[in-house]
């Protein structure tokens, strides 16, 4: 569970990373870039709809023609390939490639439906022949949103997420921000785009990265997830404000501004989302082992029968107990521990409806106002997987690890145990965390019987139910 600390941020370490899966990185990077440029120039030269001219704004008046920014402009194509070079997890590498393809595809779709250009700047290009070729290459077409800016923001956010894993500290993060900012600035300094193009590019790139992180969550270190999420949110909101001051209709700007809130809401409500709290959703094992977790107890009717079932199958489980239930039945809590199972924390009252917006004081109360057995627990599960903004700090202060799940059994809304068992059996795999429940919230036919059928199926399939050590969690 605990990260061993960041590795040394050395040239040798970076070289080792770059040399991992070099064939996949080389072919993938060159293939994606080639496909993008083919599509870009095809859409540029064959517009289907009338071309819209994007106006200059007050921001453009602040940025004059700056040929020296050409180096930063061209550095994008090296910069955007660097995150791929630094990735060693093949799933994450593929995820980065998928994100780049999705971003490029979204931009080309916008250009196809809404081709744009901007008025040529009043520049004597004959005085700058070494930069004039840029104007003849794309003739200021496919302007809004600036995909140059979008890809710079996308890569920058990936670096925010990746640098803690490879040992990059504040200096590396500052250099990353500076490089990305220079690339964004260069699109205006070389007069390849106007400010509106760049601002919409920021919005597109930030959204693309944030959703890319949701689709491809990290399996190991998640140190940069929270920073990447909030950086994306800030960039989107700042771009929305600048768009409003630049004459874009208020309704559009409000939609963009609050779309960033949608990213936060996803991480509040999606059980295994990593952007607000580090959530463990599996464990590493090379055996046919799963982790059975039982929520909402203890229950005087269900818990004794569940304990007997677990003994019959030589299974170990973690009971995520509600504090007020544990206070009513301390003898059951003691019996769970005596039988060799783990007692874990599931809040004092199991709030659901308003827990997502709980104040820090309410979160502290839910964590602290529990019986001693739960106070000593080191693992926590949020009710229904909902994570308020202050939860991460509260868990860190108390040394609690947030546990999600790999397989949601569906017993909470099932009407027969066979349905629950079939769902678990179909999706079971080594290292999975199984979520089941006990207590009166379940249908009478499902209570205990669903767990009994699940245990029987797991035993028949050669699985053992174990409680994984901290270092195996991921």
pLDDT of residue 253: 97
Q: Place domain 279-472 in its CATH homologous superfamily.
A: Glycoside hydrolase/deacetylase (3.20.20.370)
Average of pLDDT values for 238-258? 97
Domain ranges of the chain: 11-269, 279-472
pLDDT of residue 223: 65
Torsion angle in degrees (nearest 10) through CA of 53, 57, 60, 62: 170
Per-residue pLDDT reduced to its tens digit, 98-116: 999 999 999 999 999 999 9
Cα separation, 161 vs 95, in Å, equals 13
Average of pLDDT values for 385-395? 95
pLDDT of residue 2: 47
- pTM recorded for the entire structure: 0.88
Average of pLDDT values for 321-347? 97
Query: Where in the sequence numbering do the catalytic residues fall?
Result: 295, 437
Per-residue pLDDT reduced to its tens digit, 133-190: 666 555 557 789 999 999 999 999 999 999 988 888 889 999 999 999 999 999 999 8
Cα separation, 267 vs 226, in Å, equals 10
Other beta carbons within 10 angstroms of residue 45's beta carbon come to 11
Cα separation, 400 vs 381, in Å, equals 9
Please provide the average confidence, as pLDDT, over all residues in the chain. 92
- Provide the pLDDT confidence category of residue 218 given band limits of 50, 70 and 90: confident
Per-residue pLDDT reduced to its tens digit, 352-389: 888 999 999 999 999 999 999 999 999 999 999 999 99
Bridging pattern class, strands 116-118 and 52-54: parallel
Average of pLDDT values for 426-436? 97
pLDDT of residue 470: 95
Per-residue pLDDT reduced to its tens digit, 268-296: 999 999 889 999 999 999 999 999 999 99
Average of pLDDT values for 467-471? 96
Per-residue pLDDT reduced to its tens digit, 30-71: 999 999 999 988 888 888 889 999 999 999 999 988 888 989
Question: Under 8 Å CB-to-CB from 200, ≥6 apart: which residues?
Answer: 144, 145, 146, 239, 243
């Amino acid at each position: 569970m605990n990260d061993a600390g960041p590795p040394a941020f050395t040239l040798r370490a970076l070289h080792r990373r770059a040399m991992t899966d070099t064939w996949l990185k080389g072919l993938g990077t060159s293939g994606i870039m080639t496909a993008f440029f083919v599509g870009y120039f095809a859409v540029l030269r064959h517009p289907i709809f009338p071309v819209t001219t994007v106006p200059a704004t007050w921001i453009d008046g602040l940025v004059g023609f700056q040929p020296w920014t050409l180096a930063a402009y061209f550095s994008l194509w090296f910069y955007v390939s660097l995150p791929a070079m630094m990735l060693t997890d093949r799933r994450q590498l593929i995820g980065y490639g998928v994100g780049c393809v999705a971003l490029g595809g979204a931009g080309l779709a916008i250009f196809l439906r809404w081709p744009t250009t901007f008025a040529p700047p009043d520049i004597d290009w004959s005085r700058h022949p070494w930069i004039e070729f840029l104007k003849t290459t794309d003739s200021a077409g496919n302007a809004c949103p600036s995909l140059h800016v979008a890809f710079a923001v996308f890569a920058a956010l990936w670096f925010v997420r990746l640098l803690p894993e490879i040992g990059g500290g504040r200096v590396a993060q500052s250099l990353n921000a500076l490089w990305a900012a220079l690339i964004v600035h260069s699109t205006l300094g070389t007069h390849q785009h106007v400010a509106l193009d760049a601002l919409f590019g920021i919005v597109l790139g930030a959204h693309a990265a944030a959703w890319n992180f949701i689709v491809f969550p990290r399996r190991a270190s998640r140190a940069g997830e929270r920073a990447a999420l909030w950086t994306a949110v800030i960039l989107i909101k700042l771009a929305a404000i600048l768009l409003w001051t630049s004459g874009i209709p208020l309704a559009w700007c409000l939609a963009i501004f609050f779309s960033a809130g949608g990213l936060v809401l996803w991480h509040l409500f999606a059980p295994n989302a990593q952007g607000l709290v580090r959530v463990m959703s599996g464990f590493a094992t090379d055996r046919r082992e799963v982790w059975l977790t039982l929520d909402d107890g203890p229950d005087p009717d269900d818990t004794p029968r569940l304990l007997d079932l677990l003994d019959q199958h030589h299974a170990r489980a973690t009971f995520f107990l509600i504090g007020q239930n544990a206070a009513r039945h301390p003898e059951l809590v003691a019996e769970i521990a005596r039988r060799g199972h783990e007692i874990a924390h599931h809040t004092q009252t199991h709030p659901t409806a308003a827990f997502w917006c709980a104040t820090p004081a309410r979160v502290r109360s839910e964590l602290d106002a529990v019986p001693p057995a739960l106070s000593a627990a080191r693992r926590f599960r949020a009710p229904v997987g909902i994570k308020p903004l202050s939860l991460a700090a509260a868990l860190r202060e108390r040394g609690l690890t947030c546990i999600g799940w790999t397989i949601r059994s569906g017993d909470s809304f099932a009407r027969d145990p066979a349905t629950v068992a079939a769902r678990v059996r179909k999706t079971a795999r080594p290292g999975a965390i199984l979520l089941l429940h006990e207590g009166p919230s379940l249908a009478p036919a499902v209570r205990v019987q669903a767990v009994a059928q699940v245990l029987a199926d797991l035993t028949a399939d050669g699985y053992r139910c174990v409680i994984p050590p901290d270092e195996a969690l991921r």
